[in-house]
Amino acid sequence: MPLFEGLGGIGLINEKNTTVVLDIGTAYTKAGFAGEYGPRIITRSEVKCRETGKNIPLFQYKNENELRHHLVDFIHKLYFRCLLVNPKDRRVVVVENLLCPTVVRNTLAKVLFRHYEVLSVLFVPSHLVALMTLGITTGLVLDLGHKEATLMPIYEGVVVFHAWQALPFGGSLIEKSLSELLLDRAVATTEDGTEHRLSSIMQDIPNRYLEDIKVRTCFVSTLERSSCLQNNKYDRSIEPPPPPPSVHYPLEGHHILTIPGTVRELAAESLFERDQDALTLATLVLNALLKCPIDTRHKLAENLVIIGGTASMKGMKHRILAEVRAAAASEQYCQILPIPSFMLHHPPAKDNYVSWLGGAILGATEAVMLRSYHRDQYLASDVVPDWCNLSFNTCEDRDEKFA
């Protein structure tokens, strides 16, 4: 569908075969049915390599043909092992990031239409449908994913394309920082009770351990406490705040890993450090507001929505909001962006599947029939409408393309 069209005037439907909703992320995929409160399955975005037999990331591919094989195997698992439905009888809603590579989008459409012969596919922007869970049409949506953080301003149901922002800050950056801190500071206790530095036992920590340690033990400290830690880092005469308590984590069955409190606290600080262009998550929000029309900025700032799996980390939302308010009060922004207040929404779902829930809400409306791209249309043109392709977004060709 042309993305400049709003979402108003959409009514509810009652289909016999409920629409399938897919949200395929870099690290995890959410799948379920439209109209439900949560996904039926949240699974890793991994497939078994046809050559080696080992599990590899879904989007680790060398060419388009390899990506197609990955998607065929992965979607087969979703339909026949998880959802247990026939793909030919169902419509599909795909929740996607607007910055998703075109090759991924086109290959996914080819797999769904030609291999699984679905009735229709509706591609919806993840940032836009996230607002549907809140019942609002205007918001500044920040998606903290595994690989990157993307921000999209949305005003009255329309994405402000030219104001989007993105940074390579995400869960993988936290895991990389956590690995370095653990190898440098953590201690492992063996079965005989002796203690060894973790770096002397293993040179590399598997990703499955890093992710579990991050979720179970790490947190994001407050802005004030982080400032004290940074001041102590450069000036040892300043007394640092007391460290959090250490925790014990079983590692490989016979080692007990002692994770210092400083490691638990510092792992997420890499998200708030300025990069080479002096950009952070806070400047991401403020720069997006500066690119928006001046009469929309106040309303956007009062409707900040933070989603994504990394956003569920304890203290993350509070820290981002504090960073944004502090940056807005700095000399760099206080004169050019006089925003009186920033306010944060809390969606009625876990942060990692807010976009999926928005897709499930949209999939239960008439939009799934009126705005979907049908199989016969795809087979006739072999092209999927794309927002970045002007041939599908000009007013003159719109009625002809989607007749």
Domain map of the chain by residue range?
20-132+351-401, 136-170+277-328, 173-271
Classify residue 115 by burial, with Cβ atoms within 10 Å: 0-12, 13-18, 19+: middle
**Phi, psi dihedral angles at 206 (to 5 degrees):** -60, 150
Residues 299-306 have a mean pLDDT of 95
Read off the pLDDT of each residue in 299-322 and give the average, rounded to a whole number.
94
Residue 286 amino acid letter: L
Full-model pTM: 0.89
**pLDDT exceeds cutoff 80 at 145:** yes
pLDDT at 46 over 90: yes
**CATH level 3 topology of 20-132+351-401:** Nucleotidyltransferase; domain 5 (3.30.420)
Q: Cα torsion for 25, 135, 364, 45, to the nearest 10°?
A: 10
Q: Evaluate whether 20-132+351-401 and 136-170+277-328 have a shared fold.
A: yes
Give the other-Cβ count within 10 Å of 365's Cβ: 20
Quote the CA–CA distance of 8 and 10 in Å, as a whole number. Answer: 6
Radius of gyration of the chain (CA): 23
265-301 pLDDT, tens digit each: 999 998 898 877 778 999 999 999 999 999 999 999 9
Confidence of residue 2 (pLDDT cuts 50, 70, 90): very low
| Residues 221-258: b if buried by 16+ CB within 10 A, e if exposed | bebeebeebeeeeeeeeeeeeeebeebebebeeebebb
Categorize the per-residue pLDDT at 358 as very low, low, confident or very high, splitting at 50, 70 and 90: very high
In CATH, what class is 136-170+277-328?
Answer: alpha beta
Per the model's pLDDT, the better-predicted residue between 297 and 232 turns out to be 297
What would the two tokens of residue 19 be? 């629409």
For 86, other C-beta atoms within 10 Å of its C-beta total 13
Return d(Cα 328, Cα 274) in angstroms, integer.
16
User: What CA–CA distances, in Å, run from 331 to 106, 164, 319?
Assistant: 45, 23, 20
pLDDT in tens, 171-213: 999 999 999 999 988 888 887 778 888 888 888 888 889 999 9
